[in-house]
Structure 1
Amino acid sequence: MGNKKHKWSILPGQELTEMDKQILYWQNRSKSVPSRDLVKTPEQIEGIRRAGVVNTGVLDAVAAVIRPGMSTQEIDDICMAYCKEHDAVPACLGYEGFPKSVCVSVNECVCHGIPKPNQILHEGDIVNVDFTTILDGYYADASRMFIVGGKTSLECEQLVRVAKECLEIGMEAAKPYCFVGDIGNAIQKHAHKYHYGVVRDLCGHGVGLKFHEEPDIAHFGKKGSGMLLVPGMVFTIEPMINMGTYKVFIDADDPFGWEVISEDELPSAQWEHTLLMTESGVEVLSY
């Protein structure tokens, strides 16, 4: 994780807006601020919003059919079919060698799980389905947790619930002219109440014109740290919450080098939304 040092540009003779004044205030105090290209135009926001509708539809399609006995490859097939029906493209497919259209991460797999014909879902499994849509060149990204068969252990049920609460608490902390660290600090505090680990090696990110943009959105940290978030920025919050340690490793049996596993191989849960920062808080563009 890490962001470049940016400078907020002002043209000679340009009348300063309230947003300019806020950004310049923090820039002059050596805080990390966005560059203008990280603030989306109204046209770009509408494009991302349309991609978000399709992306949400993909996850709705999975939610309607996920069940014990189905393979994770079947989930990939559903996502591919939905994309084709809506003239969209799955961003994951072929991205840095990723072989499938969606990440399906089961139990101790934290993220980037690769769908497989022989990986069968069982009642009580907890599953993260993470999909990113490209529509007309715009990106939207979201993931959901599913409890296969509707029942699991009390421990896993709590983990899934708390992971969702971490996302919601992070969204509440995401106010205009807050800092990325404010989000991470709020998430970390809530997860630690349950003695859960907050994964540090992966993070949320800017999104919209590319799959991954600045800023990095860490899910731990100190208030007032990280980049200033201003209206017009689009990013994900996607805390990965482990039942045990926050540490992770790459599965040595994965020939593609993608699947991330909790170090102690205890279950993990994650929820993700694509969010637009507005003058009053965040608006959900995909969930």
Structure 2
Amino acid sequence: MAIVIKTPQEVEKMRRAGAVVREVLEYVRGFVKPGATTMDLEGAAVRKMEELGVKPAFKGYHGYPCVLCTSVNSEVVHGIPSAKRVLREGDIVSIDTGVVLDGYYGDSAITVPVGEKIAPRAQRLLDVTRTSLESGIQAVRPGATLGDIGAAVQQVVEAGGFSVVREFVGHGIGTSLHEDPQVPNFGRRGQGLKLREGMVLCIEPMVNSGSPDVQVLEDGWTAVTQDGSLSAHFEHTVAVTSDGAVVLTE
């Protein structure tokens, strides 16, 4: 496992990339409404990236066709935008994207409700998943372990009555979209790789309202819950500093 330690100057470049990712996500969020398609969201993201002069991180990555992943309801991650996928009142949609700026990557995801009327359990899934990400970030500091992050996420999720996806995990990031180490959303405190100042990680809980089991559809990308339950996904790019975690995608 080759962990790439970033200099403060590199972290600063990644902060700029992260700020752009946040700007794109907030822009796209404004297009989430009943009657919109996931391809409408894709179009908004493409326009914003062009306006900001950045390259998309996802398009072309292992052949992926779009700049966004848009995963609706029981779709966990890697949902491909489509003009046929119409958002409806009460849906939830995960929007995951990344950019390359000055040779460095940023990566972040949000899950948002469609319309004003969302089922209480769906809203609770969003709240718990977001809180689990915050808990994972709070565990980040030099000398802590990957297990500390995973345990912090898992504890919040399971206390909320939900389940953590095991097949997909977070990752290191830098001049590549995916670097070592893998960052699971489950684990035991004190176990796993020790964090060092200069590491940059993507922490990204994927949380199901039912069973944790997932399957990948025939398109080779879209992962869905096996039992058809709802899934939510939140992600930040986080630097390990002497002061603890610094979120680069806020």
Q: Secondary structure at the match of 2:32?
A: coil
Q: Distance in 2 between matches of 1:162 and 1:43?
A: 34
Q: Secondary structure at the match of 2:248?
A: strand
Q: Does 1:217 align with 2:183?
A: yes
Aligned to 2:223: 260
Q: CA deviation at 1:152?
A: 0.7
Q: CA deviation at 1:175?
A: 2.1
What does the per-residue CA deviation read over 1:129-185, in whole Å, with 9 as the maximum and x for residues that have no partner?
000111121100000111011321011011011000110111111122100000101
Q: Does 1:283 align with 2:249?
A: no
Aligned to 1:86: 52
Q: CA deviation at 1:62?
A: 1.0
Q: Secondary structure at the match of 1:228?
A: coil
Q: Distance in 1 between matches of 2:125 and 2:182?
A: 24
Aligned to 1:110: 76
Aligned to 1:195: 161
Q: Distance in 2 between matches of 1:93 and 1:251?
A: 19
Aligned partner of 2:72: which letter?
A: V
Q: Does 1:270 align with 2:236?
A: no
Q: CA deviation at 1:238?
A: 0.4
Aligned partner of 1:49: which letter?
A: R
Q: Secondary structure at the match of 1:178?
A: coil
CA RMSD of aligned residues (A): 1.1
Q: Secondary structure at the match of 2:156?
A: helix
Aligned to 2:214: 248
Aligned partner of 2:179: which letter?
A: E
Q: Distance in 2 between matches of 1:224 and 1:214?
A: 19
Aligned partner of 1:260: which letter?
A: A
Q: Secondary structure at the match of 1:171?
A: helix
TM-score, normalising length: structure 1: 0.85
Q: Does 1:186 align with 2:186?
A: no
- Equivalent of residue 159 in structure 1, options 114, 125, 134: 125
Q: Distance in 1 between matches of 2:192 and 2:127?
A: 27
Aligned to 1:56: 22
Aligned to 2:111: 145
What does the per-residue CA deviation read over 1:169-203, in whole Å, with 9 as the maximum and x for residues that have no partner?
11111122100000101111111113311001111
Aligned partner of 2:122: which letter?
A: C
What does the per-residue CA deviation read over 1:214-266, in whole Å, with 9 as the maximum and x for residues that have no partner?
111100011122211111111111000000111100013x2xx0000011110
Stretches of structure 2 that go unaligned for 5 or more consecutive residues are: none
Aligned partner of 1:275: which letter?
A: V
TM superposition outliers: structure 1 runs of 4+ over 3 Å:
none
Q: Distance in 1 between matches of 2:103 and 2:54?
A: 9
Q: Report which stretch shifted further, 182-191 or 112-121.
A: 182-191
TM-score, normalising length: structure 2: 0.97
Q: Secondary structure at the match of 2:201?
A: strand
Q: Does 1:120 align with 2:79?
A: no
Q: Distance in 1 between matches of 2:161 and 2:41?
A: 32
Aligned partner of 2:82: which letter?
A: K
Q: Distance in 1 between matches of 2:48 and 2:242?
A: 34
Q: Distance in 2 between matches of 1:60 and 1:216?
A: 27
Q: Is the 8 A contact 2:77 2:222 kept in 1?
A: yes
